[in-house]
Homo-oligomer: A and B are copies of this chain.
Amino acid sequence: MNVAILAIGNEVLCGKIVDTNGAVISREIEGIGAQVVHREVVSDQVEAIVSGLRHAYEYADFVITIGGLGPTLDDLTREGVAQFFNEALVYDPKIYEGITGYFAHTGRETPENNKRQAYQFPTSFVLENPNGTAPGLRLDKGGKTVFLLPGPPNELLPMFEKEVLPVIKERLEVPMVTRSYKLCGIGESLAEEKILHLYETYPMLNIAPYCSISFVDYVVTAKQSDARMLDVFEAAFLDVLGEYWVGAARDELNVTVVEKLKELNMTIAVAESCTGGMLASSLIEVAGVSEVFLEGFITYSNEAKMARLGVKHDTLMRDGAVSEACAKEMAVQLQRLTDAHVTVSITGIAGPGGKTKEKPVGTVYIGIAIGAQVQVYACRFSGSRDRIRTRSKDHALHLLYKLLNKVTDI
């Protein structure tokens, strides 16, 4: 089943509103195994709407329009659909009754221009809108179905879930199943190289990589009848990429790490230099983190590293603040200072300044102490200051996740 989504409105088109509606709906459609094949944003003009509908009809079995059902003169979705199908719009007193009822409920009179919302097509079905005045409409035409939905998310999403998603699901010929894998510590190119043979071995699977700053997510989809191939694929996939695997695509690594710490009854403290609070902030983003998170130090200057954590002057002189020795001292001293079970330190050169010949921009050391065990990882990240800092933070979470998993193995 192919679905096209047409967002209608100048505010979306000119970037005043970010089209999150389209993203949310698309995810839900893909989640049931249907495919979003086309999305378009058009202006509040009848010709633009007609042209958008024509494109959408090229591609899809279902067309969903979002927006343009309001009461004002620039709400022209109904008119656009009427022109596209060459159908008349008919005033429906029942819809108008619903609209006046909505206003009465909020103690207001119905403004005259809301009458525009009471028009539908002779062959359309009305989709109730308990959260606003504009009802949705559904039209079945030439074996295809068009849904006209309102733009405000609190009206759109309940209507979409109640009136649209079940209809698409019902018409899926082949039920689909999906699995996903989140990878950290490997780039998209290298990951693809490592599993290139799997694309050939498993032609019945749709294997799709999604890349973000620190992660590569793989979403693998199969027909229900090929579901067992997902197990075989998974074994082969994790055989080559398992060391980078940190959960499903939807999993957030900070949440996973906080849950793991809770499960292990372990407390954590962090000491950051170049990331400057990113790691702490990411952990504290998780509600309920107070059970495990004790405190953090942002020791950006050398003085702070010495005064707060007791990093030795000698270490800073001999090895520098960006060094294995410094990262190790930061993590170990922090453990002594706070009595946290787990401590993490990050020190690096995020650039653009601060680089030396031996230590280019992107050189980062991550120290992790768990009980009596201390490990320091030397990393080299690329990109802008912001990306290097984000990658440092995410890689620290990744390394911590791996080590915490080993704790349970003992």
Contacts and interface: CB of A to CB of B under 8 A. Distances in A.
Interface in A55-104: 55, 58, 70-74, 102
A322 to B, nearest CB: 13
A301 interface: yes
A398 interface: no
A303 B294 contact: yes
Given A18-B20, A281-B275, A296-B298, A48 B39 contact: no
A406 interface: no
Interface of A is mostly: mixed
Q: Copies of this chain, how many?
A: 2
Interface stretch (A187-195, A234-242, A256-264, A369-377): A187-195
Interface in A178-199: 188-190, 192-193
Nearest to A188: B72
A111 B301 CA distance: 38
Contacts of A27: 14-16
A408 interface: no
A209 interface: yes
Q: How large is the interface on A (under 10, 10 to 19, 20 to 34, 35 or more residues)?
A: 35 or more
A304 interface: yes
A360 interface: yes
Contact of A23 (B19, B38, B304): B19
Contacts of A298: 270, 277, 280, 284, 295-298
- List of 10 A-B pairs having minimum Cβ-Cβ separation, nearest first: A277-B277, A276-B284, A15-B26, A296-B298, A277-B280, A295-B304, A15-B27, A106-B382, A277-B281, A15-B23
